[in-house]
Structures are given as structure tokens and as C-alpha cells.
């Protein structure tokens, strides 16, 4: 499965970079992951062409980890026979109406405001957790 994490802005802090590297390493057996650090949404929308786009947005739906695994990472058939998946994380100003409209679903980590640098790590962790859930591997606890 091909996944892209498309984010506005760059990680600069070494501790965030190290955490991201750890999750990228953990995800290698499960998917091909690309992290796109974009300056603006035009690059995110270009990366989403032909893919299933999911945007993390304050207006989004909060899913459980089990729902995230089964509904977003589940069967290939759910994603057009293997079409790539793009998870978009906006910058400080969030996403435009155009990106929201193009998204298959808006997702949220709840009503809290979370720095986009942290959301980036949370998304990677949930992707990893989701693959472990789907394969019945230990990591997730109900």
C-alpha cells in the first residue's frame, strides 16, 4: 500500500525528527510511506491527484483506532483496488475549503487544538497501530 503524509511546513526540532524516523522505520514492513513537506496546499493537492485524500481538520470526525484501521487502512478494495492514500495535515491556518471539499473524509483527534508538528507524529503512530490491528499483531489494546 502506498501512503503519503502531506504536511504544510517542515520539522526542525531534532526530537520530532527522531520520533518521525522511528515510526517511518516501523512502517516499512507494512507500506511504502512518503512524507511530503510542502510550502502550500497546491503541492498537497497535486500529491492527492488519483489518490484517496483524508484531511486532518478541526471539523473532522474523531475515529477510534479500530475504526481508523478498518475504515482507512482496511481492504484494498475500499481504496479503489490499491489507489494511494494521502493524509493531509495543514499548517497553522488549517486547510482551505478546496482541500476539504476534495477530501474523502475529514478526520480529527477531537476538539483539542494540537500543534501540527505533534499531529504529524500522532498520524504516523495511528497508521502504525492500524496496520498492527489489521494483522492481529500485539501493540493495540482495546
Instruction: Count the domains in the chain.
Output: 1
DSSP 5-74: EEEES----HHHHHHHHHHHHHHTTT-EEEEEEESSHHHHHHHTTTSEEEEEEEEEEE--HHHIIIIISS
> By residue range, what is the domain housing residue 23?
2-134
Give the predicted TM-score (pTM) of the model. 0.92
pLDDT digits 0-9 by tens, 39-72: 999 999 999 999 999 999 989 999 999 999 999 9
Report residue 77's pLDDT band, with 50, 70 and 90 as the boundaries.
Answer: very low
Instruction: Give the pLDDT confidence score for residue 78 in this predicted structure.
Output: 56
Instruction: Give the pLDDT confidence score for residue 33 in this predicted structure.
Output: 97
Is 141 a member of any domain? no
pLDDT digits 0-9 by tens, 90-141: 988 889 999 999 999 999 999 888 998 999 999 999 999 999 999 999 887 7
The three cell numbers locating residue 22? 522511528
- How far apart (Å, rounded) are the C-alpha atoms in residues 11 and 35? 11
SS3 92: coil
Is 139 a member of any domain? no
pLDDT greater at residue 76 or residue 136: 136
Is 69 a member of any domain? yes
Any idea what the CATH number is for the domain that residue 14 is in? 3.40.1280.10
- How far apart (Å, rounded) are the C-alpha atoms in residues 58 and 64? 16
Is 121 a member of any domain? yes
SS3 77: helix
- How far apart (Å, rounded) are the C-alpha atoms in residues 27 and 79? 19
Amino acid at each position: 500500500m502506498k501512503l503519503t503524509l502531506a504536511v504544510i511546513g517542515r520539522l526542525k526540532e531534532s526530537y520530532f525528527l527522531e520520533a518521525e524516523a522511528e515510526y517511518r522505520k516501523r512502517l516499512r514492513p507494512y507500506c511504502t510511506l512518503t512524507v511530503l513537506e510542502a510550502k502550500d496546499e497546491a503541492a498537497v493537492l497535486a500529491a492527492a491527484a488519483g489518490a484517496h485524500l483524508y484531511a486532518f481538520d478541526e471539523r473532522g470526525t474523531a475515529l477510534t483506532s479500530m475504526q481508523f484501521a478498518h475504515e482507512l487502512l482496511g481492504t484494498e478494495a475500499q481504496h479503489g483496488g490499491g489507489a494511494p492514500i494521502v493524509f493531509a495535515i495543514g499548517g497553522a491556518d488549517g486547510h482551505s475549503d478546496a482541500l476539504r471539499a476534495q477530501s474523502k473524509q475529514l478526520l480529527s483527534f477531537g476538539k483539542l487544538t494540537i500543534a501540527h508538528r505533534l499531529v504529524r507524529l500522532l498520524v504516523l503512530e495511528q497508521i502504525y497501530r492500524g496496520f498492527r490491528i489489521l494483522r492481529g499483531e500485539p501493540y493495540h489494546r482495546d
